[in-house]
Amino acid sequence: MSRTPPPIEIDASRAAARGPLGMPPARFLRDYWQKRPLLIRNAFPGLVSPIAPEDLAGLACEDGVLARIVEHDRRHDRWRLRHGPFEESLFPGLPDRDWTLLVQDVDKWDADVAALLPHFDFLPRWRIDDIMVSFAATGGSVGAHIDQYDVFLLQTHGHRRWAIDARPGPPLDFRPDVELKLLQRFDPSHEWVLAPGDMLYLPPGVPHHGVAEDPCLTFSVGMRAPSSAELLGDWVDAMIAEADEAERYRDPDLAPARDPYEIDAAAMGRVVEALNRLRMNDPDRLGDWFGRFITLYRASGEAVPDEAPRPRAEVERDLEAGGVLYRHPWTRTAWRRARKGARLYAAGQDIALPVRDAQALAAATAIDGERYARLSPAGRDAAIALLEGGHYRLLMPGDDDAGDEDETAP
């Protein structure tokens, strides 16, 4: 007996389950995650964009920010791609329609944008790559395309018309005449206009095309999905770095060669044996490699150590006096249970810790004196080491850029 497919459109405001999915996360993961698109009306009812178009344009002019402008010449169906950072004088001269500004990693630059991330805590945080924000003038688009990762497209201002092809086996050939990877053919099966607060979830490989009905902002919460080639390349590099030069091809059982120029089956067996001696059969070694790999961002932003770190005693006095350690926005963290306790991973580093400390530090975007005191001695050592490495900064009450304490930290 075949099961009726779950709906492709729901209204979260009418659902019994609260939250942006309009259903329990377990049901979403079972029925939709990497299986089926879902349009969620009123995922964030009453949402007001935490960033304005002019602020996004200003961010696109900053060094170190990954920004692009995509323009479409409708008459000749030509596309133009420009990369930032841009001059501020560029934006007043842009036309009234048919262009889009895209800025990556806005959650790293804007705390109000980053505040949306806890709504997606039904997913492992290390799977979330960034929040990209796009501003599109009327008619603006980046063309029909596919993404190789899961994405939540949240409308925060204005209206965008989304068309998708949710049928199996859609055509995926790219146009050879444009720099962007745009589809040659796009035959939509569904089409909607999204208003502020509406959200569209797309699994990897679903063709989609968004066009601005009016000037609009769209937030794209994208997942990190490294390719097998990317994983293999980094894994091999790690194995090579740790390899013992004494481990070599060996043939103590060599028999007289029937043909000295033949690479026979016995030789290939010894090659496999030599390579197998390098394999990460130890789960802790493999887990440490992956933890370091997945907590490194693919973008250029990174924490930089202080040239002259403050003495630990001074830091601890400041924490007791109301200071707070705030994690650097480019420092991604995760943790893993290990054979002995746990391992904390932070921006490609790994630290052995008790489980409780690893959990606390992985989740703590902010550490006040009380939370610091609850850490074990090893946990406090790790917090100080991360501070000295630039992964946290200490701010006192009244400092201009001191933010509110992170309520989600344990």
Residues linked to residue 394 through DSSP beta bridges, in sequence order: 325
What was the pLDDT predicted at 214?
98
4 or 213: whose pLDDT is higher? 213
Task: Using a pLDDT cut of 70, give the percent of the chain over it.
Answer: 95
pLDDT above 60 (res 409): no
Average pLDDT rounded to a whole number, residues 271-284: 79
Structure token pair of residue 220:
């794209």
pLDDT computed for residue 392 by the predictor:
96
Residue 1 pLDDT > 70, yes or no? no
For residue 18, pLDDT over 80 is answered with no
Local structure of 235: helix, strand or coil: helix
- Give the count of alpha carbons within 13 A of 12, CB side only: 22
pTM of the model: 0.90
pLDDT above 60 (res 50):
yes
Which pLDDT value is given to residue 402? Answer: 52
pLDDT band at 191 (very low <50, low <70, confident <90, very high): very high
- The pLDDT, as a whole number, for residue 245 is 85
**What average pLDDT does range 221-227 have in this prediction?**
92
Query: Has residue 386 got a pLDDT over 70?
Result: yes
Lowest-pLDDT choice from 231-235, 279-283, 365-369? 279-283
List, in order of start, the domains of the chain with CATH numbers.
Answer: 9-223 (2.60.120.650), 228-282 (no CATH), 312-395 (3.40.366.30)
Per-residue buried b or exposed e for 56-80, using 16+ beta carbons within 10 Å of the residue's own CB = bbebbbeeebbbbbbbbeeeeeebe
The pLDDT, as a whole number, for residue 408 is 36
For 36-43, what is the mean pLDDT?
Answer: 97
